[in-house]
Amino acid sequence: MTILNLLFIVFLGILFFIAYFHISNYLLDSYGGSSVKRYNFENSIRVIVFIAPAFIVLFIFILYPVFETIRLSFYDKFGREFVGLYNYKWAVNDPEFRRSILNNLVWLLVVPTLSTFFGLVIANLADRIWWGSIAKSIIFMPMAISFVGAGVIWKFIYEYRGPDNTQIGLLNAIIVSLGYEPQAWLTIPIWNNFFLMAIMIWIQTGLALVIFSAALRSIPKEMLEAARIDGASELKIFFSIIIPYLEQTILVIWTLITIIVLRIFDIIFAMTNGEWQTGVLANLMYDWMFRGGGDSGRGSVLAIVIMIGVIPILAWNLYKHRQEQKI
Amino acid sequence: MKKISLSSILSQLLLLFFVIVWIIPTFGLFISSLRDKDLLAISGWWTALTTTEINEIYRMSGMESQIEEDGYFKIKGTLFEDNSGKKIESFGINSKKINEFKIGDIAIFKDESEVILDENGNYEWRSKSEFQKKKGKRLFTTSLSPPSFTFENYREVLFKEGIGRAFVNTMAVALPSTLIPLIICSFFAYSLTWMRFYGRDTLLAIIIASLVVPLQMSLIPILTIYNDFGALFGVAAKSYPGVWMAHTGFGLASTTFLLRNFLKSLPNEMMEAAKVDGASHYDIFLRIIIPLSIPAFASIFILQFLWCWNDLLVGLVFLDQVPSEIILTAKLKELLGSRGENWEILTTGAFVSMTVPLFIFFALQRYFIRGLVAGSVKG
């Protein structure tokens, strides 16, 4: 496909949706009359016109797949024969699955916690310093780049050369200059997971930072002033006023990053491809989607395990939504 | 009166520490992408910022290039083929004593041939007897290399490695994948906010539930649908429209949710007044909603665009990994596997993939942050 063809399809694709809304509404407008009956009819058709595209997409890409994935998890690798709990039993006994779920749990424990913590600390520091906004910009920047791009950046930091060569990776260069042996960081089991998590923390701290910065402004200045006049130290203010005041925000950010981390795939796929015991559920799932021609049963089980992780958050969101509706 | 307290200095230092830790990885990548690829492979990027000493081994030319002059057999040549600006400090003829001679010294080999070297790497190797060996002798040089930067890597990566085409492909994926959800979700959010119909609350609850559904749940069923669709109509199962719709599906809930939150904040009286004046919903949408929603659109556009631009998984699953379809992130991943040691290609490729996000980041940071703060929830 040439670039010109590509441009043409892109243009056509976007135009299609604009044309759909414009033409259907134009027709409705010209039909719409003065009688109440006609007006009501026109309005109910228009609701359908407005909702239909989004609803169809939502149905095909989210609603149907959720049920289909649940169904497929009880079927064989081609999705043809019912096999009951076979795929689930396989998962429970599979060492790779256990390793992945353990890694996922550690990711879920470490990354949201540290990102939120760093975000809060940095937001608080930057708030009181004149060059704080520049600092915030810099720390927020990794949020804009892709996980794969971040992977390349950090792979370069972790780069390993034999002990006789000049180290071009920053981490090993530091280690060598301190007099230690260089290490192939990404191949050391258990620890390599933390080196991968560092990348995610590096990225997500920015997210926590900007949200906290916005939230910090909602703390009444008088309260902080009063505390300072009473002689409270900054550390004391941080723990006794700021953290309790931002409790809700902390929870929101923590959940947000948890959702992102739960389906973490790109970083591990790009850096180690799950080798040296770094695999997580999403990687294992991708693997099973294509390994040996693909196994939709096992892949679906893995997707469901990821889904189970978000169900508490989903329920909580729905509960909050209900409360808001009542008001 | 300003008082510089200890705690203020401490917090400045602490923040500075965070800033340095956060910027160094990206900065190193950027510097590396501008370095000569041979230097990149043998020295850390931090050495590129100052004049550095490098040790190298070169081999002089062999017997073919000898000439007879002033009663000597001579081989003349230069060690540095490229004009890199390196200046030789000292050299040696033995790997154990690489700093044995200064510029201007005459080094004498065991076979009594002698060599003189100038600081630009030009050498003259002479001998009373004729040179007999095809390969010349080795010289060990210690030279000072000034900081030098080049765009050569960018030229190579963009045109030879296929990153340029991948860049175009990514644009062709990301732009419709952002605009299509924006178009259909703005109508959807409008009807969820300002139209009355049966099942509206249920639909809203479904949207909120869909916000957190991980996209892994959708991959296998949608891949199956695409394969069946492709087989049924005799078209490719993996195509650009397929990716657009997948991104639209995965971004639909969050786009609708953010837009609805924004629309809800608009004053109801305005819509009522327009309705009394006989405006249809479409009129209201075009004339009132769209102009008022530009800032909200900008925030959502940026979020969704960056998400599509930076995505790997969707592009990997729903596009063929061929030059006319591969996206930047997938291309980078491929290079990580196949050219893992060619850091000039990786660093430059990564930087090319980051140009658009970084541009958006610096130009439109305000909208980006506003979108995130409004609730970046994505499944």
Q: What is the pLDDT of residue A237?
A: 83
Enter the tokens of residue A313: 């958050």
Instruction: Quick: pLDDT tens for A38-61.
Output: 777 777 888 888 888 999 999 999
Interface of A with B in 107-126 (CB under 8 A): 118, 122, 125-126
**Is residue A26 classed exposed, middle or buried when 0-12, 13-18 and 19+ CB atoms within 10 A define those classes?**
exposed
| Residue B69: pLDDT over 60 | yes
The domain that contains B313 carries what CATH number? 1.10.3720.10
In a domain, B206, yes or no: yes
Whether the pLDDT of residue B1 is over 60: the answer is no
pLDDT at A32: 60
The rounded percent of chain A whose pLDDT value lies above 90 is 11
- Mean pLDDT, rounded, of chain A: 85
Name the residue type at position A167.
Answer: Q
Helix count (H) and strand count (E) of chain A? 16, 0
Of the candidates A72, A142, A211, the beta carbon closest to that of B220 is on A72
Residue B226 lies in a domain: yes
Specify if B276 maps to a domain: yes
Same domain, B121 and B203: no
In a domain, B331, yes or no: yes
Identity (one letter) of the amino acid at A319? Answer: Y
**Domain identity same for B249 and B300:** yes
Instruction: Examine the fold and report which residue of B93, B112, B146 is the final residue of a domain before the chain moves on.
Output: B146
The pLDDT of residue A217 is above 90 = no
Domain-ending residue, one of B146, B164, B189: B146
Mean of the per-residue pLDDT values of chain B:
82
Give pLDDT, residue A112.
92
Q: How many distinct structural domains can be found in chain B?
A: 2
Structural domain containing residue B287: 154-373
Residues of A in contact with B195 (CB under 8 A): 43, 46-47, 50
| Confidence category of residue A35, pLDDT binned at 50, 70, 90 | low
Domain for residue B15, yes or no?
Answer: no
Structure tokens at B272: 């009522």
Residues B358, B237, single domain; the answer is yes
Quick: pLDDT tens for B210-225. 888 888 888 888 988 8
Q: Do B76 and B190 fall into the same domain? A: no
Instruction: Provide the residue type at B97 as one letter.
Output: K
Residue B18 domain-assigned (yes or no): no
| Contact check, Cβ <8 Å, B28/A157 | yes
Q: Which band of pLDDT confidence, cut at 50, 70 and 90, is reported for residue B376?
A: very low
Q: Is the pLDDT of residue B156 over 90?
A: no
- Asked whether residue B94 is assigned to any structural domain, the reply reads yes
B293-323 pLDDT per residue, tens = 888 888 888 888 988 998 888 988 888 888 8
Q: Are residues B172 and B291 in the same domain?
A: yes
Residues facing residue B126 across a β-bridge: B74, B114
B130 and B163 co-located in one domain? no
Domain match, B108 and B201 both: no
Residue B176 confidence (pLDDT): 92
Locate tokens 């960056």: which residue?
B306
Confidence of residue A118 (pLDDT cuts 50, 70, 90): very high
pLDDT tens per residue, range B2-56: 556 777 888 888 889 989 989 988 888 888 888 877 777 777 777 777 777 777 7
**Is B41 inside any structural domain?**
no
Q: What is the pTM of this model?
A: 0.83
> Min CA distance, A190 vs chain B (Å)?
22
Nearest to A310 among B12, B28, B212 (CB): B212
Contact A303 B225 (CB under 8 A): no
Residues in chain A: 327
B175 & B249 share domain: yes
> What percent of chain B clears pLDDT 90, i.e. is strictly above it?
8
The tens digit of pLDDT for each residue in A139-181 reads 888 888 889 889 888 988 888 887 777 778 888 888 888 888 8
Name the residue in chain A with its Cα closest to that of B374: A211
pLDDT on residue A201: 93
Q: Which of A221, A272, A229 is nearest to A245 (CA)?
A: A221
Mark yes or no for CB contact B45/A168 under 8 Å: yes
C-alpha A199/C-alpha A197 separation (Å) is 5
pLDDT in tens, A274-326: 778 888 888 888 888 887 777 888 888 888 998 888 888 888 888 888 887 77
pLDDT, tens only, A80-107: 888 888 888 888 888 888 889 899 999 9
pLDDT, one tens digit per residue, over B166-202 is 888 999 899 999 999 999 999 999 888 888 888 888 8
CB B19 within 8 A of CB B135: no
List Cα–Cα distances, B372 to A234, A247, B1, in angstroms.
28, 19, 39
Domain boundary among B91, B118, B146: B146
On whether both B368 and B258 belong to a single domain, the answer is yes
Q: Are residues B209 and B351 in the same domain?
A: yes
For residues B194 and B70, membership in a common domain is answered with no
| Alpha helices (H) along A32-94 | 36-58, 64-72, 86-93
Residues of B in contact with A139 (CB under 8 A): 18-19, 22
B195 and B279 assigned to the same domain: yes
B379 pLDDT more than 60: no
Q: Residue with structure tokens 């953010």? A: B258
Output the pLDDT for position A198. Answer: 92
Q: Which residues of chain B are within 8 Å of residue A66 when distances are taken between CB atoms? A: 213, 217-218
